[in-house]
Chain A
Amino acid sequence: MNTKELEQIAKKVRVDIIKAIHAAGSGHPGGSLSAADIVTALYFDEMNIDPANPKMEGRDKFVLSKGHAGPVQYAALAERGYFPVEDMMSLRKLGSKFQGHPNMHYVPGIEMSTGSLGQGMAVCVGMALANKMDENPGRIYTLLGDGEIQEGLIWEAAMSASHYHLDNMVAIVDNNGLQIDGKNDDVMTVKPIDEKFKAFGWHVVVIDGHNFDEILAAFKEAKETKGRPTAIIAKTHKGQGVSFMADDPGWHGKAPNEEQAKQAVEELGGEW
């Protein structure tokens, strides 16, 4: 798929995110919007998947380790045809399949229930090991928050993925620089992220996480890298695409009101 098409889809994904979080009255728009281009690239170009057969043998798998960005995964799955977009408007409501953090048993296409930070990454180590054992060609992708990598488990998993030469695994860091309490740099320094992964034996690519050419090239480079896993450090902006949410930690976990949601959707070229 060309980058123009991907950009258009990413806009739709962002509109779905805004509408669903507004309808829910709570949720995490900032980190969902920052990851929208990466997740769109995965579901619409990179991954070998089949919406008509979510459990297809040999498929690639994506685990949203930063599970609080659930709306971006729901929106990408909906736009990809796993279920109608309207379904995800029940986000966070009692009885909804669309839980505040993704549940693998409720929503087709979700490979792992996440939400507790750090675990998705380590679960991917197990999935990648299993595929190696079975000579299954499926590749394993996970998206981490840059705040999330403060979790010790991330580095336990980084060590084991490298030790077991899991070149079928890719970890993308959504490096928007912000977390709930403020800037990473103020809360707990995570820099230098690239050097850290390199030191753990990973192949590292640093990209602009809103540039589809760079995103796709990084995935290609990961595929060509043998003997070790790849970390893609994607420089992003929290709240990307919505002027008043951009780079503001205040929008980590807050729903837009009707006026704000309307403005956001209009900015994204969507219909309210």
Chain B
Amino acid sequence: MEKMATRKAYGQALVEIGSENQNLVVMDADLSGSTMTKEFKKVYPERFFNMGIAEQDLYAAAAGLALSGKVVCASTFAMFAAGRAFEIIRNSIGYTGANVKICATHAGITVGEDGASHQTFEDLALMRTIPKMTVVNPSDGVSAKKLIKQAVAMDGPCYIRLGRAEVPVFYEEDADISLGKGNLLKDGKDVTIIATGIMVNEAMMAASDLEKEGISARVIDMHTIKPLDEEIILKAAKETGKVVTAEEHSVIGGLGSAVAEVVVKNCPVKMAMVGQMDTFGESGKPDQLKEKYGMTSKDIYEKVKSLF
């Protein structure tokens, strides 16, 4: 399977959107070579602003540009966007409803060698608590591009979580991906795996292993964490009776919590969560780290089995 980092898809998407939408402004905080905003800068230098290593200023100035009529994609690493600039995003972008897309890269454990200071597992939790904020976590290059384009086309604040590592591209170019709609990737009747980001591919592998043991697993790509597709979750809970969530994020506050909030209120079923278990990461290769911190297809497989 072809591999591509979702941040690379972001760089390509920016150039494509930039040619159609003269109103698009792209900003960065000295990481344009890593976040891939450099691709936009090359083609549209007059619409690109580097704010230096100053993430608070990045997001406040992005709000100012957006409130002046621009649509802004402002990027840095997820740790410094959702983490360091949280309150700026909350007050100057969320509260005002500014049309800023917070395109945060290098999220999660697959940052790898840079280690714990750069591996954020808190961003989805932080961002989804902000009213009016749309929160998106694409699973591969194809869906990332489609979701970024849809996010830019809608009005209002949006957080888009992107990764550093190359991950398999499993969607076809003509796949139907809609912001706010969970995507049923594989039907099943015994259990549902709801996954987001790079864990979607792991979920598909786990489902295939489970099939060999006679367990029919449904797999949903929940690329939009907020607004959450409650309908697809409740249908799955009712029809399969068991739900396992999988995310490259803390099990506190992210997809798992969001799904549990829906399930417990409407259709309580047995649930289990795969994700970072309330601990910091460390340096290592992405695959080694995924294994050590329990975010592989094997971990999903085992969590599913634990519910039977």
Contacts and interface: CB of A to CB of B under 8 A. Distances in A.
B60 A153 contact: yes
Contacts of A121: 60
Interface stretch (A12-20, A126-134, A188-196): A126-134
B53 to A, nearest CB: 9
Contacts of B60: 118-119, 121-123, 125-126, 153, 157
Contact of B88 (A104, A119, A124, A129): A119
A159 interface: yes
Contacts of A152: 56
Nearest to B92: A119
Interface in A114-168: 115-116, 118-119, 121-131, 133-134, 152-153, 156-157, 159-160, 163-164
A123 B56 contact: no
A127 B64 contact: yes
B170 interface: no
A163 B66 CA distance: 20
A73 interface: no
B272 to A, nearest CB: 39
B67 A127 contact: yes
B56 A127 contact: no
B52 A160 contact: yes
B51 A160 contact: yes
B293 interface: no
Interface residues of A, number: 31
Contacts of B65: 126-127, 129-130
B20 interface: no
A113 interface: yes
Question: For the complex, would chain B's binding face be called helix, strand, loop or mixed by DSSP majority?
Answer: helix
Contacts of A130: 25, 64-65, 68-70
Question: For the complex, would chain A's binding face be called helix, strand, loop or mixed by DSSP majority?
Answer: helix
B178 interface: no
Nearest to B100: A126
Interface string A33-58: 00000000000000000000000000
Given A105-B96, A152-B56, 7 more contacts: A112-B67, A113-B91, A123-B92, A126-B68, A127-B64, A128-B64, A157-B57
Interface string B29-67: 000000000000000001101011010110011111111
Contacts, number: 99
B280 interface: no
A126 B46 contact: no
B87 A122 contact: no
B171 interface: no
Contacts of A128: 64
Contacts of B66: 126
B115 to A, nearest CB: 25
A156 B25 CA distance: 20
Of A123, A133, A153, A160, the most chain B CB neighbours within 10 A belong to A123
A122 B56 contact: yes
Nearest to A158: B57
Given A119-B92, A160-B52, A125 B67 contact: no
A163 B58 CA distance: 14
Contacts of B52: 156, 159-160, 163
B88 A160 contact: no
B88 A133 contact: no
Nearest to B91: A116
A213 B64 CA distance: 31
